[in-house]
A and B are shown apart, each in its own frame.
Chain A
Amino acid sequence: MPVDQSLVGRSFPPTAAYEVTEDRLRDFADAVGVAYDGRQAPPTYPIVLAFDAMNAFLEAEQIDLFRIVHGEQKFAYERPIVAGDVLTATLTVASLRQIAGNDIIGTASEVEDAAGELVCSTSATLVHRGPQQGPAA
């Protein structure tokens, strides 16, 4: 069940506005073993937004999350995320190829604040594993 090639270049609607709170930052920092410093979010925090965007994309395309393995992730930050930010993420499918029965889906998600200013550009490669695959590479 290969993913539809016509998806390349398509952008999905922005995610619901997500308010960054001190509690959310503290929970995330605790979960990755660092102390929340009362200022900026841990560097991988934008994944919360990007993951939300990815989930909406997977649901729209009826792709099972449990068949997805993360292949690559990049973040380029315009500024740190801080408590009080209200953020959305917009996902675009950048590339799509099939290798050995897996779909390799390249995505780019832009995280913006309430003013529409870019906060972080993320890109992710998602490996959609076919039904009869061997162990992960």
Chain B
Amino acid sequence: MTLETRVFTVTRADLVRYAAASGDHNPIHQDEDVARSVGLPGVIAHGMYTMALAARAVGEWFPGAEVVSLGCKFTNPVVVPAEGGVDVEVAGEAKEPVDGLTTVALTVTCGGQKVLGMPKAVIRAT
């Protein structure tokens, strides 16, 4: 079953809020100069923020469902501009449930490029 694609806009302010709430104050998510000094194209979103958006989509598709596992690789950075924001799209495909568990295969893109590798959630069907 194909799920309705969700689009989330990510801004620098979102990253500041996420840093405070998560405790991840890595400056590559705040400071252009530090990000470039380690070879990044600019300030990038926390991978965990993008992953949280993927989980948010799953929560919207399956409200209240218990998540049994969640995983992904971080294959491309989400570069967040100083002004405005960047859109992250989360598409999903729910497999047939097996033993009460539903696997949701996700596709997470930014500017048409996949940013997460094999993102997947397993939920307990309610």
Do they bind each other? yes
Residue of B nearest to A123 (CB): B71
Residues of A within 8 A of B (CB): 24, 27-28, 30-34, 37, 40, 42-44, 47-48, 51-52, 65-77, 80, 125, 129, 132-137
Within 30-74 of B, Cβ neighbours of A (below 8 Å) are at: 34, 37-41, 44, 46-49, 51-53, 55-56, 58-59, 64, 66-74
In the complex, which range does the number of interface residues on chain B fall in? 35 or more
Residues in chain B near residue A125, CB distance under 8 A: 73
Closest 6 CB pairs of A and B: A74-B71, A31-B21, A70-B47, A32-B52, A133-B39, A43-B55
A43 to B8, CA, bound (A): 18
A108 to B98, CA, bound (A): 27
Q: Known contacts being A31-B18, A133-B38, is A65 close to B70, with CB within 8 Å? A: no
A80 to B55, CA, bound (A): 14
Q: Known contacts being A52-B23, A129-B39, is A136 close to B77, with CB within 8 Å? A: yes
Residues in chain B near residue A43, CB distance under 8 A: 52, 55, 58-59, 67, 70, 121
Residues in chain B near residue A137, CB distance under 8 A: 75-76
Residues in chain B near residue A76, CB distance under 8 A: 68-69
> How many whole Å from B40's CB to the nearest CB in chain A?
6
Which of A27, A43, A65, A75 is most buried by chain B, counting CB atoms within 10 A of its CB?
A: A43
